[in-house]
Structure formats: structure tokens, C-alpha cells
Chains A and B, each alone.
Chain A
Amino acid sequence: EAGVVQSPRYKIIEKKQPVAFWCNPISGHNTLYWYRQNLGQGPELLIRYENEEAVDDSQLPKDRFSAERLKGVDSTLKIQPAELGDSAVYLCASSLGGVSYEQFFGPGTRLTVL
């Protein structure tokens, strides 16, 4: 069974440029998470989807970040415009149904903003 797929794995951009990350969760997993992980810290939840509904986006900086999960399967996270402080690893995870279940993580996208 395929795991969580993310692309790209690495991205280097200049500040003020837009960037997008893509995630395909494990088949059948209704819940999809986007996290940001800064160096030496734990994952910080940005947004959580239950199917196509964003049920927790309280930590998403909505002035520059947006996300969508059309058809309740794969998802895209966008930053526009990127700032230096956005440099981090962006992780996507999925679980069978809600936060009570264990999550399966993708390899992450390492974003560097210059």
C-alpha cells in the first residue's frame, strides 16, 4: 500500500514569491493534516480536513496561506507571498478518521525562502 505522497521534496524560492505544496493521502483516509515543522521543534498543525471540509484552521496564517482539498482526496497548500520566516519543513499526514487515530506522515517538503 502506498504511503502519503508529497511533492516537491525541496523548494527554494525568493521572498515574496508564491509556492505550492501537494499531498496525496493514503487511500481511504478521510482526515488530512498539514503541519509546519521548524528546526528543532515539533510539528505544528496548520489545517486539518475531514473529507473536503476544513475543520480546524485556527493556526493557519490566513493572510498568506491557503489550502484546499477538492473531492476530499489530495490537497494543496499555498503560500503567497512567502516570507523569510516561512522557511521550514511542511508535512502532510493522513489518518483513518479524526485525531483519535494514528497519523501516517509523508516525507515533507523542505522550503527555503531567500
Chain B
Amino acid sequence: AQKVTQAQTEISVVEKEDVTLDCVYETRDTTYYLFWYKQPPSGELVFLIRRNSFDEQNEISGRYSWNFQKSTSSFNFTITASQVVDSAVYFCALSEARYSSASKIIFGSGTRLSIRP
């Protein structure tokens, strides 16, 4: 069965600190996709990144970076030099790429990140 665990319910750091949000997943499929979404106080979820199970290359986008490790079933998200605008709830999600009607998507419970000035 699918499962996505975001063990950190809340994180609070001071601005300019680096912070890592953990995501651990479970799946029996060999082909799957991992996602991160941001939900700012306004409420609308915003897509950040998608990764497929065959691409373990780490990705960097500005101050954001993602570390995908199949060996530990983790897809962690790091924000470097955090800013107040990074304050939001961050969700990790997993989808299994089976034939259409059997595909499943599941979200983690989220990590609330607060950046203090």
C-alpha cells in the first residue's frame, strides 16, 4: 500500500537559516512519481517539483533543493537561506504510474514551516 510520511509537523527557524523538510514514502511499485507542493497562508496549493522513480539526480532551483534517495525511500526538501515568504505548509505526494484507472495519488500530512524575522 502507498504511504507518505512527513514526520515533522511543525518547524520554526530564524530567517536566513537553512531548513530541511523530510518526506519518507512507501510503495510496492517500481515506477512512481514524487511531488512537493507549497500551501501558503492564502490556501492555494502550488506545485514545486516532480520527480520520477528512475531519476535520482538531485535538483536545485534557486534556494530550493531536493534530495531523492531510493535506498532510504526519501525525498527531502531543503531551503537555503530561508526567508519569511517561505512560511507555508509543505506537502509531499506520491503517485503510482500504473494504467490509468489503477493509478493512485496520496499526500502526506504536511509540515508547517514558520520563518521568524
Q: What residues make up the interface of A, taking CB atoms closer than 8 Å to B?
A: 33, 40-45, 48, 50, 55-56, 89, 91, 93, 98-108
B107 proximal to A (CB < 8 A): yes
**Across the interface, do B91 and A56 meet the contact criterion of CB distance under 8 Å?**
no
**Across the interface, do A104 and B47 meet the contact criterion of CB distance under 8 Å?**
yes
Q: Give Cα A33 to B109, complex, Å.
A: 18
Q: Give Cα A99 to B37, complex, Å.
A: 14
Q: In residues 69-117 of chain B, which contact A (Cβ within 8 Å)?
A: 91, 93, 95-97, 100-101, 103-110
Q: In the complex, which residues of chain A have a beta carbon less than 8 angstroms from the beta carbon of B43?
A: 89, 107-108
B64 proximal to A (CB < 8 A): no
* In the complex, residue of chain B having the shortest beta-carbon distance to the beta carbon of A45: B105
Q: Give Cα A107 to B39, complex, Å.
A: 10
Q: In the complex, which residues of chain A have a beta carbon less than 8 angstroms from the beta carbon of B95?
A: 99-100
Name 27 A/B residue pairs within 8 A (Cβ), A-sorted: A41-B109, A41-B110, A42-B91, A42-B93, A42-B108, A43-B45, A43-B91, A44-B107, A45-B106, A50-B101, A55-B100, A55-B103, A56-B103, A89-B43, A98-B100, A99-B96, A99-B103, A99-B105, A100-B52, A103-B37, A103-B45, A103-B47, A104-B47, A105-B45, A105-B46, A107-B44, A108-B43
| B interface, over-half SS | strand
* In the complex, residue of chain B having the shortest beta-carbon distance to the beta carbon of A91: B45
Q: Give Cα A82 to B4, complex, Å.
A: 30
Q: In the complex, which residues of chain A have a beta carbon less than 8 angstroms from the beta carbon of B110?
A: 40-42
**Across the interface, do A99 and B104 meet the contact criterion of CB distance under 8 Å?**
yes
Q: In the complex, which residues of chain A have a beta carbon less than 8 angstroms from the beta carbon of B35?
A: 102-103
* In the complex, residue of chain A having the shortest beta-carbon distance to the beta carbon of B98: A99
Most chain B beta-carbon neighbours within 10 Å: one of A33, A99, A103, A106: A99
* In the complex, residue of chain B having the shortest beta-carbon distance to the beta carbon of A102: B47
**Which one, A40, A55, A98, A106, contacts B44 given CB within 8 A?**
A106
**Which one, B93, B104, B108, contacts A56 given CB within 8 A?**
B104
Knowing A99-B96, A108-B44 touch, does A42 contact B101 (C-beta < 8 A)? no
Q: In the complex, which residues of chain B have a beta carbon less than 8 angstroms from the beta carbon of A43?
A: 45, 91, 107
